């Protein structure tokens, strides 16, 4: 670990990463909100549940997948539950465990919103990069996630 200041190249990489993330997320969020009334975090939670076995996940697992804090996920699931898109289920074998489960309405909403999300990911990121750049970015982002 070094306390030396970032040089020009390092600062450009850091600022580029932050700005690109913000721009892509803002665009995806705006499209999902305008076309489907869903925030990007709501979409991500519904998508993770849709992909999960039995269309349900422990709240702790869902928080990790959705990169939300436990309290942030609780508030989001509260909102999705009020909208009828998600329901909470208790674990039959461990009273401490609570699952978030996708409802039929939630599955319909994610299926309807999926093409918008896909179009946005392609338009705002994937199609702007060559296959080689995509591979490099994938490797780089994976490395940044390692402990």
| 134 lies in some domain | yes
| 82 lies in some domain | yes
Going by pLDDT thresholds of 50, 70 and 90, the confidence category of residue 142 is very high
pLDDT attached to residue 31: 98
| 121 lies in some domain | yes
Would you say the pTM of this structure is higher than 0.85?
A: yes
- How many whole angstroms separate alpha carbon 53 and alpha carbon 95? 20
Question: What are the φ and ψ backbone dihedral angles of 43, each rounded to 5 degrees?
Answer: -60, -45
> What would the pLDDT profile of 108-129 be if each residue is shown by its tens digit?
999 999 999 999 999 999 999 9
Tokens describing residue 133: 């750049």
Residue 141: name the closest of 17, 19, 26 by CA.
17
- Which stretch of 7-21, 38-52, 59-73 has the lowest confidence by average pLDDT? 59-73
Higher-scoring residue by pLDDT: 69, 76: 76
Identify the domain containing residue 60 by its residue range: 39-145
Higher-scoring residue by pLDDT: 129, 60: 129
CATH code of the domain covering residue 77: 1.10.10.10
User: Rounded mean pLDDT of 69-92?
Assistant: 94
| 1 lies in some domain | no
DSSP state string for 42-57: HHHHHHHHHHSGGGEE
How many structural domains comprise the chain?
1
| 95 lies in some domain | yes
Chain-wide mean pLDDT for the chain? 95
pLDDT attached to residue 11: 97
* Burial label, 137 (beta-carbon count in 10 A; 0-12, 13-18, 19+): middle
Going by pLDDT thresholds of 50, 70 and 90, the confidence category of residue 75 is very high
| 12 lies in some domain | no
| 110 lies in some domain | yes
Flag whether pLDDT at 1 surpasses 80. Answer: no
| 125 lies in some domain | yes
For tokens 């999926």, the residue is: 114
For tokens 């401490």, the residue is: 96
> What would the pLDDT profile of 21-45 be if each residue is shown by its tens digit?
999 999 999 999 999 999 999 999 9
pLDDT attached to residue 69: 87
């Amino acid at each position: 670990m070094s306390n030396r200041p970032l040089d020009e190249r390092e600062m450009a990489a850091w600022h580029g990463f932050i700005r690109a993330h913000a721009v892509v997320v803002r665009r995806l969020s705006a499209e999902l909100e305008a076309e489907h009334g869903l925030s990007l975090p709501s979409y991500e939670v519904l998508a993770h549940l849709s992909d999960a076995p039995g269309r349900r996940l422990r709240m702790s697992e869902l928080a990790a997948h959705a990169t939300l804090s436990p309290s942030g996920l609780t508030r989001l699931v509260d909102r999705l539950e009020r909208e009828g898109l998600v329901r909470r289920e208790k674990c039959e074998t461990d009273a401490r465990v609570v699952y978030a489960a996708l409802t039929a309405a939630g599955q319909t909403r994610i299926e309807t919103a999926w093409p918008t999300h896909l179009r946005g990911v392609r338009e705002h990121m994937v199609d702007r990069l060559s296959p080689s750049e995509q591979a490099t970015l994938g490797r780089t982002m994976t490395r940044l996630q390692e402990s």
